Structure 1
């Protein structure tokens, strides 16, 4: 009984630590994703072609850039988290400045992708009318690209120190502003896709500037000591780690992009793409909840490994996996119950609503899987396994999932449902392999590797105490 009480106390303590990060991270993720969600909802009422165009622009062009920049910024999750665990807070500001330099340079390199959206989509054999509208929207949305570049490093800076509630508050204000401005410029004044893009620019830059103000306001005296020339040192090594993180994450995000492009090759692409994009928006909305646990487990694992506490890291993985699975079941039931109602939030076109409703069962299965997989990815980031997971993603997603989807969708005439089934098969295999890797991990070895990583980037380690160790 004494052992059970001790285990229960440890579990409650770990849940508190994880929810302290996951709660506001979930809220921040949901609110920031709601900016895209709200844009899609307002544009969807302009017509099915407009909805398909914005969905293609968001999922293919913006999703491409978003994935690269988020991945580049995610290198901070490993470095900052382990530095916090080792007590080296003075390095966080330097790491963040280095990451911002790299992500801004990357955004500049990605700008031509936005400029040439129309020919790129036509090259991918998307319909001319959808490609033209998507191109106009993407050009107007270029300022969002540079906002993403700064947003992700700033988020990792706050998350690694478990300072995330202000991020949630800023995002909430941004969503309120975004909703009102969309209602004015898109609905009332009729500025269409261009108006929706400009409103998105304003909302994202409000988030970035507010976060910068929070960081330099004096609330982080140890981790933010001002701008430093040291940020320009060791950039090559930082770029290598950033690229590994970007490749890992991009292979996951681009998987959905590839699926949407495949759907664009089907007959009646406007209906099929619109239905698929609605399901993806719903799935990605629930994924924002799961990504809260991705952030939590990444911070917890990196903190404990950086502090030299392998048992605490392993225990945190188990607790977060169980919590995410329970939440996944709840969201899956909700999606099943609302599969006929949720599509109407995006469109009033009967054919699109019907097609999206038919995909409800596959969507529910994807939602359940989508709660477990991000936790496993968070473990990989916290431990620094980005390169390993990148190779795993190539095999499961692109060599297995997409070919299965192509056969089911085109050869067997299952259309969008067949393509989604292939995507689900690849995700299921990837999750199963990650589970095996995670539970066979030698955590003492991972803690030693974290110590070496911190020494090479920041200096000697000072042991930290952990109540869960």
Structure 2
């Protein structure tokens, strides 16, 4: 039963953390569903599926950075080293910026060839080539938000992060995507561009949270969580 001793404290962090990820990825999956209502649903769904797959592929880089900084920040705060947590935050943000720009440039350079990895149809390949610069811009913000989300999780701000993702994607991103696609008649590019607007809002909000973080205060909170969830002496020995 000692394994479940702090299960409620764990769930208070785990559930909002899962929501942070789910709320973001559900919104991208919705784009493919919405593409079925566009004038040429077969083409639009194909291109958006390829775009989503491409973004998922390159997303593994910031995903690793986000997981690393989440662990590093939480460990440093729990050990009572706020300055080390702040330094790690600065380093990972620099790495995130470098990786986002590098991968974004690579996406743009292969834009005329990437479609052939998925289809031999000229219409699909040309559409993908037009989408790739938007994908590059999307990855720029997606990379940064993934790193910032890792920092937020490491600080224990999962609930705030969940609210940020909810507002950014479902109050800004999805409505903007529908507006660009069905009012301005931009098709799949409009759907993707609208969701990128949500990504921009998410990145700005997470960045403001990170910049306003009181690292000394969060280190004290983290140490309190560590001591409150420590194992009994007989089990620890």
Normalised to the residue count of structure 2, the TM-score between the two structures is 0.93
Match among 172, 177, 187 for residue 415 of structure 1: 187
Q: Distance in 2 between matches of 1:233 and 1:317?
A: 31
Conserved in 1, the CA contact under 8 Å of 2:31 and 2:48?
Answer: no
The alpha-carbon deviation at position 361 of structure 1 amounts to: 1.2
Q: Distance in 1 between matches of 2:228 and 2:116?
A: 54
Structure 1 residue aligned with 2:147: 375
Structure 1 residue aligned with 2:121: 349
- Give yes or no for the alignment of 1:454 onto 2:216: no
Residues 58-457 of structure 1 aligned to structure 2 (within 5 Å): 229-457=1-229
The alpha-carbon deviation at position 403 of structure 1 amounts to: 0.7
Q: Secondary structure at the match of 2:80?
A: coil
Provide the aligned C-alpha RMSD in A: 1.5
The alpha-carbon deviation at position 374 of structure 1 amounts to: 0.8
Q: Secondary structure at the match of 2:59?
A: helix
The alpha-carbon deviation at position 235 of structure 1 amounts to: 3.4
Deviations 1:259-317 (A, max 9, x none): 22212221221211110111111111111011111011111101100100001101110
Q: Distance in 2 between matches of 1:347 and 1:392?
A: 37
Conserved in 1, the CA contact under 8 Å of 2:100 and 2:139?
Answer: yes
Conserved in 1, the CA contact under 8 Å of 2:69 and 2:88?
Answer: yes
The alpha-carbon deviation at position 234 of structure 1 amounts to: 4.0
Deviations 1:142-196 (A, max 9, x none): xxxxxxxxxxxxxxxxxxxxxxxxxxxxxxxxxxxxxxxxxxxxxxxxxxxxxxx
Structure 2 residue aligned with 1:218: none
Instruction: Answer 1 or 2: higher relative contact order, Cα 8 Å, separation at least 6.
Output: 2
Structure 1 residue aligned with 2:235: none
Instruction: List runs of 5+ in structure 2 lacking aligned partners.
Output: 233-237
Higher CA-based Rg: 1
Q: Secondary structure at the match of 1:348?
A: coil
Conserved in 1, the CA contact under 8 Å of 2:115 and 2:128?
Answer: yes
Structure 2 residue aligned with 1:82: none
Aligned residues: 232
Deviations 1:385-443 (A, max 9, x none): 01001111111111011111111101111000011111011101110121111011100
Instruction: List runs of 5+ in structure 1 lacking aligned partners.
Output: 1-228, 461-469
Q: Secondary structure at the match of 2:94?
A: helix
Conserved in 1, the CA contact under 8 Å of 2:38 and 2:187?
Answer: yes
Q: Secondary structure at the match of 2:195?
A: helix
Deviations 1:221-272 (A, max 9, x none): xxxxxxxx53344434433332121112211111211222212221221211
Normalised to the residue count of structure 1, the TM-score between the two structures is 0.48
Change in Cα spacing, 1:302 to 1:234, as seen in structure 2 (3 Å) is closer
Deviations 1:84-140 (A, max 9, x none): xxxxxxxxxxxxxxxxxxxxxxxxxxxxxxxxxxxxxxxxxxxxxxxxxxxxxxxxx
